[in-house]
Structure formats: structure tokens, C-alpha cells
Amino acid sequence: MPPICVVVLLVILVNLPCGFYRAGVRRFTLPWIVAVHAPVPVIIGLRYATGLGWRLYTFPMMIGAYALGQFLGGRLRRTLRPKDSPRADRPPGR
């Protein structure tokens, strides 16, 4: 498997718990900002460890994997713990 595929899968896996946590806190607070940005140093380390570097073609895949991991983690939290989510008390569609 090419290194880019491995790194993309690892980026998604690293972001799942952060997205899970992020979905349970209020938006734009310090815990929310930390949950969004905490995986960045890990991902930078993965890029260097695999020799991927900073090639331009990798950025769309990395950004997509990052967003997908955050999204799936948040979706997982809302599925497993609907009452913990700060958005659970809002009517659907908002």
C-alpha cells in the first residue's frame, strides 16, 4: 500500500476520537479549539515518519481525511450519546 494511503487512513483514525469529543462541547470554546487542532502535530509527525513530506498533491487528501475523521467522530457521538450533544436540544433542521 502506498504511504499516502496509509497516512490518509491514520489521519482519519487519529481524528475520530477528537471529533467524538468535539461534538460534546460548545462550538468556538477552548475545548472545541483544542479538539480541532490537537491532531495536527500527530499528522505532521506521520508525514515525516512516512517520508511523505509536503508535496502539493497530498494536501487535498490530507484535508479531506482530516475533515472526514472529525465528521465521523461527531456523527458517532451523536449516534451513541444523543443527550450529551449540545445540539441535541435543538429541533431538527437547525
For 34, residues 6+ apart whose C-beta sits below 8 A from its C-beta are none
At residue 36, does pLDDT exceed 80?
yes
Give per-residue pLDDT as tens, 38-71. Answer: 999 999 999 999 999 899 999 999 999 999 999 9
At residue 4, does pLDDT exceed 60?
yes
Predicted structure pTM score? 0.83
Q: Write down the residue that cell numbers 487512513 correspond to.
A: 9
